[in-house]
Every structure is written in C-alpha cells, then in structure tokens.
Structure 1
Amino acid sequence: MRVLVTTSPWPTHYFVVQPLAAAFRAAGHEVLVAAQPSMADLVTRSGLPMAAVGSDIDMVDIRRKTLSQELDARQKPGEPARADDGGQVFDTWQQATLANLDPVMDLARTWKPDLVLADTMCPPGLVAAQELGVPGIRHLWGWDFYGSAGSEQILAELPGFYDVYRAHGLDVQGDPARRTVDPCPPSLQPPASPARLQVQYVPYNGAGRAPGPELRRTDKSRPRVCLTWGRSITRIMGERAFLLPRVVRALDGLDIEIVVAADAATHAKLGELPDNVRVLDSPPLHLLLDDCDAIVHQGGSGTVLNAIRVGLGQLAISHMADQDNISAALAGSGAGIHLRGEQAAEEAIRAAVIRLLEDPDIRMSADRLRAEMLSQPTPAQVAAGLDELATAHAHH
C-alpha cells in the first residue's frame, strides 16, 4: 500500500514519526514524506523519500507569537478563568499549519495514498485523508489533550477546528483521525480515547556519529550527568531561557562527570568550563544517554522520551506550556523532578541533581517507566496493524 506522511517543520517532531514511517517502508510499503522545502535534507538523510510541498514557514516565529498569547491569557489573581484561554493560541497554530494545505491536497490527489500518517501539528494530512476516504492516522510526539477521553467536547470548543474540513465539503464530527498513535508511556498521558494506539518509542535523533571510544566512561564509580537544552527554546524565548551556564555553575564542585550535548553555537556561549565538563558536538542523544546516570534538560518531549528509554532520572526545567505538561507528568510518575524556569535557582538545581543520583525511589520509578515503554507494541507491529486497518477499510 501507499503511505503518505505529513510532518510539521519541527525537526524533533519528525524524528518521533520517522520510526513508524520507516517500519512501513521496511514492510514493503511505498512511503512518501510531504514537508516544506526546508525539511528536505533532514528527511532524505533519514532514509525516506520526500516531496517538498508549499513554501517555508518559520515555526519559531509562530511559536514566539503563541507564547506571547499564552502569557497574555494566563489568569490574573482574582479573575475568573476565561473559556477562550487557549482559543487564540490554537487559532494562530491553525493558520500557520494550514498554510500549505492546498499543496498537500494536490499531492494526495495525485499520489493516491491508502493511508495518511500525520504529525499532530500537520492537520492537512487528516484533511486529505478525509477527502480521499482513506484512514487518517494522527501521530503524537508528546503530551496530548485533544486525543484524550472527552476530546470531542474540546475539539468542538476550539475556534475553527472543523472549518477547514467544511471548506472542502467534508462533514466531520469528533476526532478526524481514525487512530492516534502515541509513543508516550500511557501513565504519562491523560485518559486515552478508544482510538488511541500505543507504540513503543524508538529513538531517532537524526543522522550522526556515535561518541568515540575515547569518550566512553571508564570510571563507573563516578556518576555521569548529561546536560542538553534542545534546539529551539533559546531561539523562541531569548537568552533568558538559556540556562545551561546556570546549570553548570550549580553543579560545580560535585564529584561527577558532566557531558554537554550541544552544537557549536551553544558551546561558544558556555564560556570557560570546569575540568569535569566535556562538550560533545550534537551526538544522536540516545547514543550518549546509555552511558549516563541522570540528565538535565529543558522539558522537550523528545528529550524526555529518549531518557525514559534508557531509564534515567531526569531534571526538567521548563519554560513553555507543552514542556510544563510532560515535565509535570514525568515528576508525577516519580521518575524525575520538574522546575519551572523562574524557580530554577542554582541551589534548587544542585539539590535536584543530587537527589536524582542518590534517591533509590527515583531510580525505581525510572526503571518502571522504561519497562512500561518497552512493553508497548513496536513500530513494526503497529505498522502491521495499520496495514490491516487500511485493507479492511478499502474492502468496506
């Protein structure tokens, strides 16, 4: 069968979808990724063919706008909650993610897929599936709310959610996705709708080389802590959200080894570093974490899932709502500690990392969360199930 994959311009979101797309291809299906032109190198280096659709959209600029709206919508003391607190933010995302709707629709009509796999931030894929009458599958990359139980009421309250379907003559009720594929351990998510389909998270972090043997740890008695700060948070929020130097200062003097996963630009901003700190030039994160004891990061979903996969205790220092949600869920599981950026004084960071390394309850919770992740169906198994779904749909 033919599987059309539609993805937003966030590289880390594509990284989460890639293993299932690759599983379809490994099973003998035709796979085509539809993405904006700027994603071409990243997608093709992942081993999948790509069709460039539409024009490039700077999602960092869009995220800056929605962040401003989120801050404006936050309730002030004594004020009643507003029903439209999330409405303006959603509307901005909707306008941005639908900008390339027509090119995606044209591609789908020409290529005629049997199934569409859509990043949750790329609704044109689901619109195309509805128009073609084939199963549309939404793929999550982190914490979810509108694929959860009771989502039909949430969707009905979001401004303009169904308008794009109606513009194409489609009468859509409830969740337009036939299934929602979720790589998060179920215990981290809100109660799922019946359409939720769990998949085991398999890390893909882009093409890259593994750290060489000279960077492997030889002294296992000395804990190794990984620091990473994602790809976008500083571009969105500015230098006030770049807390890696603060984290390094907070951990100074501890008898630990620190490895920082960062690109050259980030490395340059760190300044002079203590002798126990090494910077690695953006290695694929999962290849580094299996030799670490804990991780400190910005609360990005991809980083959280990578760390769960190897059973690490995590300190998440979040600044934005999507980071807050999954970081709070992680802390609630007992497998990590969550600090909001404004709470992350050096003393709090230092105490949190010491606890990650010394508290056996955190280690047990991290092991439990890892076991839960590994118990989910593999991408190959999910691909086989979706193949059966598409076949049954075609013969219906």
Structure 2
Amino acid sequence: MGEFTIKMPDVGEGVAEAELVEWHVKAGDPVMEDMVVAAVMTDKATVEIPSPVTGTVVWLGGEVGDTIAVKAPLLRIETAEDGGEPKVVSPATESVVQAPKPSAPAGQATIASPDAASTPPKAIGGLAGRPSERSLSGPVEKPLASPSVRLFAREHGVDLRQVASSGPAGRILREDIEQFLARGALPLSTQPGLARKTATEEIKLTGLRRRIAEKMSLSASRIPHITYVEEIDMTALEELRGTMNRDRKPEQAKLTVLPFLMRALVRAVSEQPDVNATFDDDAGIVTRHGAVHVGVAAQTPSGLVVPVVRHAEARGIWDCAGEIARLAQAARTGTATRDELSGSTITISSLGALGGIVSTPVINHPEVAIIGVNKIAVRPVWDGTQFVPRKMMNLSSSFDHRIVDGSDAATFIQRIRVLLETPALIFIES
C-alpha cells in the first residue's frame, strides 16, 4: 500500500492561503482519479481540487471554514501502490487545481466524460449511491456534488438527497438534476400544521458569506457614511430606452437603466474626481483614478458579489450594456474571475424592482462613493398648473464623509440628475 498527500495548491499569484469551503469526501471514502475532493475560496473565486490518484481517503487536513496555507497538507489518500515513503502531490510538480467550469445553458445538459458515464455509482459511507436505496428514517449523508451543480440545484429548488446519481463514487452530475426535473419529480414534503416550532439551527459563516460579513464590517467600522437621496424624473430616459431597445441589433444586449447611469456617472466624475477615488486610511492617502472602473453589485444564489466594468469612460451605451450582461451571467454561474471581481473605483448598487423607495447603501471599501438605485414608479408630479403622471426614481447614494463633503456629494448627484432627466446630454461630447 502507498500513500499520497495532497497539499493546498497555489491558487493565485500572491495568495498565501485559502478558505476550505466544501469537502466532497470524508475519511474512509473511496476516490478515483480526477474526482473532485474539495473546494477552496480566495477573493470570492471558488476553485475545485481533484484527486490525482485512485484510493481511499485516510485523513482530512481541516474543517469547512478553516483557512489553510498554500503547500500545507490538505488530505491523504491510501492507494494500492507499493512504496516506501509517502508520496506528496505538490503544486510545483503536478497541477491539482481545476477552475470551476461554466454551467451549461438552460435546457442543455453538461456532457459527462466517458469515464463518468461508464462508472456505476458506489456506496459511500455505508449508504448506496442512489437516493432511492437510502433510508429516509435514518441519518442521510450529504450528497456528493460540485459547487456548480449545487448552485444549479438551488436555482431550481431541488433537494440533492432525492436525485439519483450517475457520476463516479455516487457523485451527482448536472444531467442527473435535469433528468430529475424532466420527470416532473417534486421534493418530498408534508403539510405542516399550526404547531409551535422550537428548533434552532446554527450556521457557520463560510466562503462567500463570510467574505461579505468581513467586508461589510470593515466598511461600517471604518467609513463615516453620509447618504444623500434625490428623486429623478426618468420619463424621458425611459421613452428613449424603449425606442433604442426596439431598434437594437440582435447581437446587442437589452438596455436597462444601468448603462445610462454609468455614462452619466462618467461625465459627473470628470467634474468631481474626488468621488472616483480610493482611500488608504492606514496610510492616509487618497488615490484619484483617471480610469472609471464601475463595480455593479449583483445578488447571486451564493451571496453578494461586485463584478467590475473596467474603463467605463471608454465605453459607449451599448458596450456598457453588453459588459454588464456578460459579467452578471458570470457572477450568477460562479465563473467570474478574480480580476472581474476586483479593482473597482466606484460602485453602483441596484435591486431593480425590489429597490424600494430609499436605501442606505454601504460603501465598497476602500472606495469613497456608492450610487444606490431605487425602483422606478409612476408618481403624480406638480408641473406648475396640475399634477401629471411621471416615471420617478430615487438615487440613494452614500459617500465617505472623510473625503467627500456634503455639498460635493449633493453637487455630484445633482449633475447625474440633470444628465438622466435630459438624456440627450449623455450623448453630447463635453
């Protein structure tokens, strides 16, 4: 018998450690070559780690939520090979990092490898690999599935414990879920009565959710926020947007309000560069940025992420729309890269129809401003002689009061208001 030790690989330049966000195996489980055994996260990017050998897991190097240093032992696998000293899989000699694969488009199954298709499910932890053979009255093992497959299941409301697996060692594949949905299968449930509920559940913050908590705590504890709210008459812009969408080319992304706001923001920061800045509060240095890298806060099933539209100052309306759509899709499917999720100089936060009337957005540290977009609603507006229906939207924007004074914040938003209420100005070169 031999033994392989898989070490935490180098998951990115300058990264010294990564958070363990998911185990796909436990001690005693059989594994096969190329089977994903763990998932780690750094800078909001999740990386799957496959096994380079076939064997049995004999030791795990941490629990979910632990931070593990690069090159530290991650897990050990006992193999059928004979040998003396235990073998070590090192990032320097053998790649053990597999980047997350993009999810297949809706209605299209992911093509499994020949090995995955021909290998029957195996029993894991004493339970048969197919859910139909498990006892629902006893303890149920956590189903084996990659992060992208778990995301796909959550998006479709599928309990993985009810899905028959066809992958190696009982691992559930995307096509297993698609077949489950195609059969019209529904999760097992019981109709609850009117009874008191006394159960509690403790959930450890791990992965992206822990990153979000740390980021929000940092922003709230270090940045004295000032929030400024102004209402915008969006009637003319909505008419223009509707016309442009009707005439758009097939390859062009549909225009939302965000590309117009992005272009208005670019014009406004050219007049007030202090708003398009980052602040190193430890060093006491404000860095003004000529480039306008706009972060667009996006809600995903895993939590809040901020993909970045780089060099918005060099993009037109349609280019901004296409890049926003591309990044939003990458964020939803968990395929956005580290570079696409970092480096913003100012952020836009929008919840669309759920935006409410007013919000108090939290600044994305170390930036000094965030533009909060609220919902558009028809309201009666007095035009001097009568009330007329207008499409109104509030901007609820926050600023770092150490860097941006209240009057400068108001001037900045008022400039954006003028541009959005007279959208032709957005297209006129200054």
TM-score normalised by structure 1 residue count: 0.29
**Larger CA Rg, structure 1 vs 2:** 2
TM-score normalised by structure 2 residue count: 0.27
The structure where helix makes up a greater share of residues is 1
The structure where strand makes up a greater share of residues is 2
